[in-house]
Amino acid sequence: MTTPRGPVDSSRIPRFAGPATFARLPRLDEVEQCDIAVVGVPFDSGVSYRPGARFGPSAVREASRLLRPYHPGLDVSPFAETQVADAGDIACNPFDINEAVETIEHAAGELIATGARPVTIGGDHTIALPLLRALSREHGPIAVLHFDAHLDTWDTYFGAEYTHGTPFRRAVEEGIVDTEALSHVGTRGPLYGKKDLEEDRRLGFGIITSSDVMRRGVDETVDALRQRVGDRPFYVSIDIDVLDPAHAPGTGTPEAGGLTSRELLEILRGLAGTRLVGADVVEVAPAYDHAEITSVAASHVAYDLISLLALTQRP
């Protein structure tokens, strides 16, 4: 096995210098093969309120300069145990959502076909649908753990089927997700009506609200999620607004009463040993992100997801 090429050594080249890739990793074209690919999707034409997530990938990459190569919480050196590379951005049409969705699906499919497992940085949550389409061709219908303040299972906005509030409804309708193993985590805030919850339940989702996490704690939450996904291949989709605005102000649709960054990271770490096949972190909007709080949180979330994927490759 070829020794993985890791990030730039920060003891020799200062963190504020060197490549602008995620965690200062090599680019995809600089390695012979890739196990885990960090890919950006700078698309936010599906948002219903504040735009700006198209600048999320670059902001998260910049914040990731502070990451270090050993993860003590999971006892893994992800960049040494697997080949992780930055695959750059998927460039898609900012004026045509349907075309953008097709472009993302095609590009993600090509990346997955090489054997790489994607950790995608958005962009708005619309991008989850084409990513799930691409992964389902490889794994069949997959389980989903969806971390978000919102359900994202609404039908349409202004008659549009593809928006950041509809991806998981479309995924269920298209049969690309396993309806026996779907969960929202961290939901909260007002809804349009009780029917939102009824329709969401009909689609197959279980819900662990932000209040549930607060009352039950991280360990009980992790146990419930592990039981939900079992030994299925599963995907983690994280809207950064699952965090409270105190921990993630730089997002398009903030809601009070969210998770802390510590709670989110600890829940993710509790998933070690499961069959994670891909993930996304979306809705980072740096224009609203004072002191880069949100970008820093998102970079650590992405790092934990990479570390979880690295653990699945251990014998």
Q: Which residues are annotated as a binding site for Mn(2+)?
A: 125, 148, 150, 152, 239, 241
Residue 62: phi and psi, rounded to 5, are -65, -45
Residue labelled with tokens 């997002």: 251
For residue 284, count CB atoms less than 10 angstroms from its CB and return exposed for 0-12, middle for 13-18, buried for 19 or more: buried
Output the CA–CA distances (angstroms, integers) from residue 70 to 36, 42, 65, 175, 226, in the order listed: 16, 28, 14, 38, 25
Q: For residue 109, which of 145, 144, 134 has the smallest C-alpha distance?
A: 134
Output the CA–CA distances (angstroms, integers) from residue 28 to 31, 32, 72, 87, 273, in the order listed: 6, 8, 26, 5, 26
Q: How far apart (Å, rounded) are the C-alpha atoms in residues 193 and 51? A: 25
Q: Could you tell me where the DSSP H helices lie in 153-217?
A: 167-173, 194-203, 210-216
Could you give the strand order of the β-sheet that contains 205-209, starting from the edge strand earlier in sequence? 84-89, 36-41, 117-122, 275-282, 233-239, 142-147, 177-187, 205-209
Question: Binding site: which residues?
Answer: 125, 148, 150, 152, 239, 241
Q: Which residues pair with 135 in a beta bridge?
A: none
Tokens in use for 240? 């950064």
DSSP secondary structure letter of residue 182: E
Does the CA dihedral 27-29-30-36 come out positive or negative?
positive
* SS3 assignment for 223-260: HHHHHHHCCCEEEEEEEHHHECCCCCCCCCCCCCCCEC
